[in-house]
Structure 1
């Protein structure tokens, strides 16, 4: 599941991923928000918070993630991935492979630092 967090404003997108991400999370939540922000601001700063209940992606969601990276890779100024465990390094490597902007990972305790980092870029 994907939730838009209240820190989302202007050219900043902040989302929380919990349990498993589905194709609908990309098609119905993230992609429309990203396209709205890109239309209004040109490029975006994004923070993805993989919470402690995050279990990964459904097979179709991995494909949606890949398509999003290919289609919108040049639309990111900075991407911060916040969370722990095995997902963190994988998600950052994926972000670095598909986006032209900076990508960095942060632990859960560094959420505010990650938010400041995307805003400063």
Structure 2
């Protein structure tokens, strides 16, 4: 399940994730991504994972389609969780995208919020 939360940042999509993500969950994100892109921003993500166990097959496929269409549109991604595999998934995301991706333990949630809200670093 994907529950959108409002962190009042124009270029940020924030959500709490639990259970398995479905195709419908992923389709909730797509218009939000487009709204940010249309304003000329990179899309940042903040995901709090609570009892998150993965995707349904259709959910995973929908996520792949969205990501492949928008990889160049993504900025920073903060993953907050408490499982080792979630940390590895964040590292894999960092490896396969041009985004700046960080994993934070649940006990460091405030650090994750501070980091995701900081302006992007311009590369020289």
Please state which band the TM-score falls in when normalised by the shorter chain: 0.7 to 0.9
Q: Which has the higher strand share?
A: 2
Give SS of 1:15's match: strand
- Tell me the C-alpha RMSD between the 2 structures: 1.6
**CA deviation after TM superposition for structure 1 residue 54, in Å:** 1.5
Partners of 1:80 and 1:105 within 8 A in 2: yes
Match of 1:36 in 2: 35
Partners of 2:23 and 2:59 within 8 A in 1: yes
Match of 1:115 in 2: 113
Q: Structure 1-normalised TM-score?
A: 0.87
Count how many residue pairs are aligned between Structure 1 and Structure 2: 119
| Structure 1, gaps ≥5 residues long | none
Say whether 1:84 aligns with 2:71. Answer: no
Partners of 2:44 and 2:75 within 8 A in 1: yes
Match of 1:22 in 2: 22
CA distance in 1, matches of 2:82, 2:66: 23
Q: Using a 3 Å threshold, how does the CA distance of structure 1 residues 90 and 23 change in structure 2: closer, same or farther?
A: farther
Aligned structure 1 segments of 4 or more residues deviating by more than 4 angstroms: none
**CA deviation after TM superposition for structure 1 residue 93, in Å:** 3.1
Q: Which has the higher helix share?
A: 1
| Structure 2, gaps ≥5 residues long | none
Q: Which moved more, 1:106-115 or 1:93-102?
A: 93-102
Partners of 1:56 and 1:87 within 8 A in 2: no
Partners of 2:15 and 2:47 within 8 A in 1: yes
Match of 1:70 in 2: 68
